Each structure stands twice: as C-alpha cells, then as structure tokens.
Amino acid sequence: MSLTGSLQIEDDLMSDTLAVHMENITKTFGKVYANKDVSLELRQGEILALLGENGSGKTSLVNMLSGIYFPDSGEIFVQGKKVTIRSPRDAYGLGIGMIHQHFKLVDVFTAAENIVLGQPGALAMSKRHIESRVAELAGRYGFEIDPAKPVYEMSVSEKQTTEIIKILYRGADILILDEPTAVLTPHETDKLFAVMRNMKADGKSIIIITHKLGEVLAVSDRTHVLRKGECVATVNTAETGKAQLTEMMVGRPVSLHIERPHTAKNDERLRVVDLTCCNKDGLKTLDKVSFTAYGGEILGIAGIAGSGQKELCEAIAGLYPAIGGAVLMRGQWEGEAVMEPVLGLGPDVISKKGISMAFVPEDRLGMGLVAAMNITDNVMLRSYKNSKSPLVDRKTPRVLAEHLIEQLAIVAPGPGAIVGRLSGGNVQKVLIGREIAQEPTVLIVAYPVRGLDINSSYKIYDLLNEQKKKGVAVVFIGEDLDVLLELSDRLLVLSSGRVSGIVDPRTVTKEEVGMMMVLDVVDPSNVSSEPPPEQLQMDLSLQDVEMGASAGGGSASADLFLRDAEAGGKAQ
C-alpha cells in the first residue's frame, strides 16, 4: 500500500477478503423501494465513491451498514464474515463508523469530551490521557484539532473533524462519510481529501457519498453508481469521466448546457444599499451589502454555504432583522413608478404597498410551504387575505392549483394532494409556480434546484429564464458555480457576509470566482470595526452609475435613502 496516498488502484487486493460486502440488499419504505437488490463491495484500503442523484438510495444503503436501518432482505459480510447489524452500536462493534450529514455532537462539551462520549471504560477518565490520545490520532492523519475547544465555538469543518476523530477513536476501520463536502469551502474540502488519503494509506476503507462529480474524480479509487435504488455500475474512477458518470446517474445522455437568453436591459427593480445584519450572537451576518437588480436579468449570487445568502434574501423579504442599510423596491406612488423603502417591514406590509415580490426560500417545506397541507391550501398562502370576507375562498386557488399541476407537469393526484408527500422536484414546482403566479416584479430564489434530479433542475432553469424574458428581475442564489456562471447575466459573489464583487459570468473564470468566495475571510470579531476593504469590482456595470437618476419622483423617505446611496456610490 502506498504511503503517498496516490490514486492508483490496487488490483491485487481483489484476492483479499473484502472490507464490506453487501449482497442483494433490498429495503422498502411502504411501497417505495429505497434499495432494490443492491450489491456493494468495499475493498480493503480503498476509497469508494457512492454516486447517485438525490433519492437514488445512497444514504439508505449505507444506513443499513451503520445500523440505522435494517434491510428487508439481503446479506452483509464484514471482513468476510456474515453479520447482522441491528444498531449503530453493533456497527461500531464491527469497526464501522459513519459521519452523518448532520453532526451528532453535544454543543457544550469539548472535542475530547464528545470523542469519549459513550465509550466503555472506567467512570473516571484522565483528561490528559484522552487529549493525548486525540492529539496522537490527529497527528497521524493530519487533522487540525484543539481537543479542549467546546463544540459551540467550532466552525463546521472543525465539527466534522471532531466527528471523524470520534469514529477513529472507537477503532473504526471502515468509515462512511455522507456528503461531507456539502458544508465545506473548497480549501477545507482539499484538506479533508488529504486526510482521507492518509487514512487510506493507513489501511482504512472509506465510503464517500456525494453527488458532485468533480469530487468523485478527485478522491475516489472506484465509483459505485446508484439510480432509483438500483445498482447501475461500478467503475474504476481513473477510467471514467464526468460525461460517462452523469449518463450512468441519469440513465441517458444529458446535455449539461443551460440557456442564457438575451434580453434588453430593463428598469431598476430592487436596490440594496449597505445592508447590515447581525445574528443572535452579535456577529455580522451581512456587512454593508449593496447591489441593484434590474428587470429582465438574472442576478446570480454565489458564495460558500453560510456566507450570508439566507440572511440576505430573508432581510429583503422582511423576515430577518437588519441593523443598517436600506432595501428599495419598485412600487407605485401616485401613478408613478418609485423606489419604495421596504426594509424593516413585514411581508404583509410590503405586499400592501403594492409591491409584488416573490420569494422562493431555501427551506421549501419549512418556510415556503406547509408540508401537511394540500396543494390548494398552499397555493392560497400568499393570496388568501385578498378578499374581505372572513371566510376563505378555496375555489380560486383550487383552479390555480389545477392550472399549475397541468402547466408545470406536477406529478400529483390532484389539488387535494398533500404537499409533503410529493417528491422534491414537484414540491419545488408548487412553490415556484405559486410565486410566479403572483406576477412579481422581483423574484428571489434561494437554492431552487437543491435536491432535485437533473431533469427537474433544467425545468426550473427554464422557468427562471421565462420570467427573465417577461422582464422580471430574478435574483438567483445558487451553490453550483457552473450553473451560476451559465445561467446568470451578472454574478454577485458573497464572502463572509460581504460583497466581494459583481462580475460578468461570460468572461470570468471559475477559479477567479472561487478566489472571491474566500476573499477577506478574517476573524469575525474584528470585522465590525474596520472599514470595508476595497471591493473587487470586476464589472462595475454601467447601471450602478445610472442608479442615482432613475428614481426621481420618490417620496421623501425614498429620497433620503437615495442620498445615502449616492454617498455610498461616491465613496467607492
């Protein structure tokens, strides 16, 4: 086994016993097959990527290995022996450890305390002994960890490190990582991959679950592709490429090209000026964010998860408190179009002003929709107040719901179908359909294709492009940089709650954007006192200069904000 951690495939290990062998595993939930006759082989000391779209059964398959689910049928062999895994405890006993997408740590405990939690041993344990053990493990694989640091002070990446060490400490030889990179920056991802290679060199066998093709190619030795709960193929990673993997994942060749229709630039629809927000702990989640969105364009917003995207769209929608700045939206005042200040107003007040803003939040079932209600009741969520009667009118929304089902090809038995029972793509179609039905002037969508299969994703892109052609200002917050670069007309990059630049996606490279995403990542404690560093305005678009002139006839308060905005513009 090579200590350099190279990606070569060790064919000679075939003859050895497999670390894990799952044979003809079937698992059903009700009538749905999560896994159907799936077999999986994990060789000793390899990194196996488990690839598949959402809902293809990746997680449920490994959950049977880690003792969370129990298979309906099929056999599992670990190190050549047939085993029955009834609980996570059994899995630990077999040397199998899983790092879940959602960490399972006690917030007020330190890293070391979390690591020994639930371990057999004497009642009293020497703290120094544990910490030295942890430090030794960390040193061996190249982790960076402070054993005495409490979890609530940790970054996401540190929490993940703690989880991994916790599992190594328990003596696991087989590690399962469920979408470990979803929460990491590109740099942290590289570090994780380095650690994984070290662990592999040490003889650990690793399964990594992901749906990001680049990562599969970067880290794994072999790739196991699942589709709709069934095995599609197992390939040596070195012998494959993105196109082939996608085809296996989706089941047919897919053109990964996204359209970017050309539209004429339109009027100003949304202006955000120096928007600043704090979270409960007093840390700035948004720091002087300024931008303008115009009708007929898609403004993409890129950034590492947690860079302030959620706060930004919620603050604009009136759902998150801001401590400074202004948000102006195009409204009507005495028959003329004006920019109305809306910051600090609730969603109901904003809509009363005659401003039609649609917002597709990140948390679809937790914020955008009511999971336990049917499509009709969800469709009327935004409009039920429009009539004066104390009774709700369900006829109109029912017609709209039927219309949406037909137009967007929502797979549902009818308007009476409970939204929470629909598949992810159909849930998103209900949500976007409802928001578009408001005929908005501004449409904000947060991670609209997260968890959707490739087909549904492209349907959503089409819908957004349609709105853009209608002249709507679309603000698209996304996580996949490739998509953002292909779809948006301008791309705003957020880094730790600040705008690190607005760039032209036609000319900028992915690497440049990646750099901007981690720009000025400084200790949050001293961010507040400093003036914002000079911004990387790679495409300081012309409209920013026009900004001052466009909204002449506004109300007094709007003028006040305008002056501020101009001052801000000059300062740059």
Question: Contact positions toward other proteins, by CB under 8 A?
Answer: 28-31, 70, 72-73, 78-79, 81-86, 90, 93-95, 171, 317, 319, 346-351, 359, 361, 363, 365-373, 377, 380-382, 384-385, 390-392
For other proteins, give the closer residue by CB, 93 or 186.
Answer: 93
Residues 237, 216: contact at Cβ < 8 Å? yes
Question: What residues are paired with 78 via a beta bridge?
Answer: 20, 81
The least CB distance from residue 26 to other proteins, in Å, is: 10
The least CB distance from residue 562 to other proteins, in Å, is: 27
CA 32 to chain centre: 26
Which H helix or E strand runs over 511? helix 510-517
The least CB distance from residue 76 to other proteins, in Å, is: 11
Alpha-carbon span 404 to 385, nearest angstrom: 20
For other proteins, give the closer residue by CB, 392 or 549.
Answer: 392
Query: Strand 284-294 relative to strand 336-341: parallel, antiparallel, unpaired?
Result: unpaired
Q: At what angle do helices 186-201 and 156-169 cross, to 10 degrees?
A: 10
The least CB distance from residue 22 to other proteins, in Å, is: 16
For other proteins, give the closer residue by CB, 116 or 369.
Answer: 369
The length of the chain in residues reads: 572
For other proteins, give the closer residue by CB, 224 or 382.
Answer: 382
Residues 200, 141: contact at Cβ < 8 Å? no
The least CB distance from residue 85 to other proteins, in Å, is: 7
Distances (CA, A) of 550 to 458, 502, 553, 570, 572: 35, 20, 9, 17, 19
Buried b (16+ CB within 10 A) or exposed e, 263-287: beeeebbbbbbbbbbbeeeeebbbb
| Token code pair at residue 32 | 């749905």
For other proteins, give the closer residue by CB, 86 or 242.
Answer: 86
| Token code pair at residue 245 | 């993997």
| Token code pair at residue 517 | 């995403």
Return the residue matching tokens 């929490």.
159
The least CB distance from residue 352 to other proteins, in Å, is: 9
Contact partners, residue 507, CB within 8 Å, separation at least 6: 539
The least CB distance from residue 247 to other proteins, in Å, is: 33
For other proteins, give the closer residue by CB, 151 or 369.
Answer: 369
For other proteins, give the closer residue by CB, 44 or 162.
Answer: 44
For other proteins, give the closer residue by CB, 28 or 543.
Answer: 28
State which amino acid sits at residue 410: I
Strand order in the sheet with 222-227: 96-99, 174-178, 205-210, 47-51, 222-227, 230-236
For other proteins, give the closer residue by CB, 85 or 565.
Answer: 85
Alpha-carbon span 318 to 329, nearest angstrom: 12
| Token code pair at residue 562 | 């305008």
Vertex 107, ends 451 and 191: CA angle to 5°? Answer: 60
The least CB distance from residue 259 to other proteins, in Å, is: 30
403 burial type by CB count under 10 A (0-12 exposed, 13-18 middle, 19+ buried): middle
The least CB distance from residue 86 to other proteins, in Å, is: 5
For other proteins, give the closer residue by CB, 69 or 193.
Answer: 69
Residues 214, 237: contact at Cβ < 8 Å? no
The least CB distance from residue 72 to other proteins, in Å, is: 6
Alpha-carbon span 543 to 88, nearest angstrom: 57
For other proteins, give the closer residue by CB, 205 or 495.
Answer: 205
For other proteins, give the closer residue by CB, 292 or 351.
Answer: 351
CB atoms within 10 A of CB 346: 12
CB atoms within 10 A of CB 97: 24
For other proteins, give the closer residue by CB, 348 or 523.
Answer: 348
| Token code pair at residue 41 | 């082989």
The least CB distance from residue 416 to other proteins, in Å, is: 13
The least CB distance from residue 256 to other proteins, in Å, is: 33
The least CB distance from residue 374 to other proteins, in Å, is: 11
